[in-house]
Amino acid sequence: MKRAILIHGWEGSPEGGWLPWLKNELEKKGFKVIIPAMPDTMHPVMDKWVEHLAKIVGKPDKECYLVGHSLGNITILRYLETLEQGAEIGGAVMVAGFSDNLGYKELNTFFTKPIDWGKIKKHCKKFVAIHSDNDPYVPLKHGDIFKEKLNAEVIVKHNMKYFSGDEGFTELPVVLESILKIS
């Protein structure tokens, strides 16, 4: 059975924004879907987030798809770095993802070492990076980085800001379409 694990961002929750809608839509398509509450979301620490994701995933396989919003994406990438040789997931969809701390000291634990892009690509072959042309937090250059480093398909949406529930986004069809495409 195909599984999707949806990882919220910093200060997020499983009930936030478009995550509940996506869970419902994927379940209609036969996916088993989990939206874990990430630990200490107000003060995220990379090791705790990656360990929690690893526990939720259990045994990674090609029927497992990860979807992240914001900090959920670097959590996915750091998780993929920890996998043993030969372990592989089916794909990852990254919404408003980034590859540096964006100037927030609260995110420093996720960036204490360079991202091992080569190792990540050994554990996941299909990436989609979804960005907005007017995101106030995550510059479009991060989509270019994901394209270069991960061979990600990059989708740029117009006027979608940060894709957050605070901005009124309770559905995000482009994410559903992207998961279905790579699965």
Each residue's pLDDT tens digit, 18-61: 999 999 999 999 999 999 999 999 999 999 999 999 999 999 99
For tokens 């200490």, name the residue. 40
In this predicted structure, what is the pLDDT of residue 37? 98
- DSSP assigned state of 84: P
In this predicted structure, what is the pLDDT of residue 61? 98
CB 140 within 8 A of CB 131: yes
pTM: 0.98
- Paired residues of 124 in beta bridges: 89
In this predicted structure, what is the pLDDT of residue 175? 98
| CATH number, residue 53 | 3.40.50.1820
For residue 78, name the pLDDT band (cuts at 50, 70, 90).
very high
73 half-sphere exposure, CB direction, 13 A CA radius: 22
Mean pLDDT of the 129-150 span? 98
pLDDT tens figures, 125-136: 999 999 999 999
Q: What is the mean pLDDT of the chain?
A: 97
Residues 13, 77, 173, 15: what is their CA dihedral angle, to the nearest 10 degrees? Answer: -10
What domain range includes position 125?
3-182
For residue 168, name the pLDDT band (cuts at 50, 70, 90).
very high
- DSSP assigned state of 63: T
CB 127 within 8 A of CB 152: yes
Mean pLDDT of the 152-160 span? 98
Total domains in the chain come to 1
